C-alpha cells in the first residue's frame, strides 16, 4: 500500500436507498480500519435518506441539489438540467476545498456530478456497482473511472472488461457475525425458541405487495404455528401495528425499520425479501433459506435479474410480485416446514457469499493512489 505523510482523503458519493448507502458506509469503515486517520467525506442528494443515515454512521455528508429524471413529464424534469449544472459546480467546489486523493461512486443521483467533476481534475475514481444490471449513473461514468468493482459475473455487457474486478457487495460487519446470536435474538424480539421464525423484509423503504400479502396471510401464519418478524417500512407500519394486535401473544412482531438486522437474521429460519443487491449479499453471508420477491418498479427489472442469479444456483426460491398475493404466504409456510429444503438452500447460498468484499474494494482503491 502507498505511503505518505499526511492522512489520505477520500470522497464517497451516491445513495438514494439503503442498497447504495450501506455498502458506501462499509467501504468507509474498511478505509478507517486500514488507516484510522483517513479523512472521509460523503456527498449525497438533498432530501434523500443518505443525509440522515450517513451521519448516524459517524461520517460527515454534503448534499447536492440533484434528482433523477422521471419517466413522465413533470416539473422536476424541467428543472433537471439546472440541477445537473448546479451539482457539477458544487462538486467542483467540494473537490477544490477537500482535495481528495481518490473518489468512490456507489451509484445513485449524487455520484454522477461528483465523479464527473473529480475525473475532469484527473482524480482517480472507483465505481462500485451492486446490481447484476448496471445503473444508468454508473454506466455513464464507466469510461471516466479507473476501476469498477462488481458483485456479479458477466458485467462486460455494461463496462469495459479491463476495468472490472469481481469483489461482491460490502455489507455491515455485524451481518457477518450472527453465529451464536439466536438466543439473544429471540429474546430481543420477544419470541420463543419452540417455534420457527419467518423474517419479512421489503427493503429500506418497505414493499407494498409483500406487506399486503403478509397482512392477508397472518391468520395462516399463526395457525401453522410460526412466528413473524415483519419490517414494513414507514408507510405501512401504522396499519401493520393494528393487524398485529390480535396476535401479539402468538409471536407476530411488526416494525417500520429494524436497526439490528444481525439479530433479525440470527432469529430467522426462513426469510422473505425483495431482491435488491444489498439484501441478496446479506442473505448470502447469513446463509439463510430465502424466498425472493423482486420489485417490478426498478430500472430494467434488475431485481428479477439479481434473483435469477441465485435461483439458477438453487440458492433461493422466487415468487413474482404479480403472484405474491396468492403464492407468497403458502410458499413461506411450505419452506418453513421443510427442513431438508432449508438446508439445501442454505448450503447453496453460502457458496455465493463474498465476506471480503469491503477489504477487496479498498485494496483496489489504494492501488489507484500508489
With beta carbons less than 8 A apart as the criterion, state whether 230 and 207 touch. Answer: no
210 assigned binding-site residue: no
Determine the Cα–Cα distance for residues 118 and 116; give it in Å rounded to an integer.
Answer: 6
Dist. CA 129–CA 135, nearest whole Å: 8
Q: Within a 10 A sphere around the Cβ of 257, how many other Cβ atoms?
A: 14
Looking at residue 7, the DSSP 8-state letter turns out to be P
The answer to whether the beta carbons of residues 20 and 130 sit under 8 Å apart is: yes
State yes or no: 52 annotated in a binding site: no
225 is in an annotated binding site: no
CA distance 269 to 286: 11
Question: Is 220 among the annotated ligand-binding positions?
Answer: no
For residue 61, say whether it is annotated as part of any ligand binding site. no
Annotated binding residue 182: no
- Tell me if 279 is assigned to a ligand binding site: no
Contacts of 5 (CB under 8 A, 6+ apart): none
Alpha helices in 64-205 (DSSP H): 75-98, 111-120, 136-141, 182-189
Note the helical H segments in 196-301.
208-223, 234-244, 261-267, 277-286
Cell of 155: 458485467
> Does residue 67 have a known ligand-binding role?
no
* Known binding-site residue numbers for UDP-N-acetyl-alpha-D-glucosamine: 17-19, 131, 172, 204, 258, 303
List the binding residues.
Answer: 17-19, 131, 172, 204, 258, 303
Amino acid at each position: 500500500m502507498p505511503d505518505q505523510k499526511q492522512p489520505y482523503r477520500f470522497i464517497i458519493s451516491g445513495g438514494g436507498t439503503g442498497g447504495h448507502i450501506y455498502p458506501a458506509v462499509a467501504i468507509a469503515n474498511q478505509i478507517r480500519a486500514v488507516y484510522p486517520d483517513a479523512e472521509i467525506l460523503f456527498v449525497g442528494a438533498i432530501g434523500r435518506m443518505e443525509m440522515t443515515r450517513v451521519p448516524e454512521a459517524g461520517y460527515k455528508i454534503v448534499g447536492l441539489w440533484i434528482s433523477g429524471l422521471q419517466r413522465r413529464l413533470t416539473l422536476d424534469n424541467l428543472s433537471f438540467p439546472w440541477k445537473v449544472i448546479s451539482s457539477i459546480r458544487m462538486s467542483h467546489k467540494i473537490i477544490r476545498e477537500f482535495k481528495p486523493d481518490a473518489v468512490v461512486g456507489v451509484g445513485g443521483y449524487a455520484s454522477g456530478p461528483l465523479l464527473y467533476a473529480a475525473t475532469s481534475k484527473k482524480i482517480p475514481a472507483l465505481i462500485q456497482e451492486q446490481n447484476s444490471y448496471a445503473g444508468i449513473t454508473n454506466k455513464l461514468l464507466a469510461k471516466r473511472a479507473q476501476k469498477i468493482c462488481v458483485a456479479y459475473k458477466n458485467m462486460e455487457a455494461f463496462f469495459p472488461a479491463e476495468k472490472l474486478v469481481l469483489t461482491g457487495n460490502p455489507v455491515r460487519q455485524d451481518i457477518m457475525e450472527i453465529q451464536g446470536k439466536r438466543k439473544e435474538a429471540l429474546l430481543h424480539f420477544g419470541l420463543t425458541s419452540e417455534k420457527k421464525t419467518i423474517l419479512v423484509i421489503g427493503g429500506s423503504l418497505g414493499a407494498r405487495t409483500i406487506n399486503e400479502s403478509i397482512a392477508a396471510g397472518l391468520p395462516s401464519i399463526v395457525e401453522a404455528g410460526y412466528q413473524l418478524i415483519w419490517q414494513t417500512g414507514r408507510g405501512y407500519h401504522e396499519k401493520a401495528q393494528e393487524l398485529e394486535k390480535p396476535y401479539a401473544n402468538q409471536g407476530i412482531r411488526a416494525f417500520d425499520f429494524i436497526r439490528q438486522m444481525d439479530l433479525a437474521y440470527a432469529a430467522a429460519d426462513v426469510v422473505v425479501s425483495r431482491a435488491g443487491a444489498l439484501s441478496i449479499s446479506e442473505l448470502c453471508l447469513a446463509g439463510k433459506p430465502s424466498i425472493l420477491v423482486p420489485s417490478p418498479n426498478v430500472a430494467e427489472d434488475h431485481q428479477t435479474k439479481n434473483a435469477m442469479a441465485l435461483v439458477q444456483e438453487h440458492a433461493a426460491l422466487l415468487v413474482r410480485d404479480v403472484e405474491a398475493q396468492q403464492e407468497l404466504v403458502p410458499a413461506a409456510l411450505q419452506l418453513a416446514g421443510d427442513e431438508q429444503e432449508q438446508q439445501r438452500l442454505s448450503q447453496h447460498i453460502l457458496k455465493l457469499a463474498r465476506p471480503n468484499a469491503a477489504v477487496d474494494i479498498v485494496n483496489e482503491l489504494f492501488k489507484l493512489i500508489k
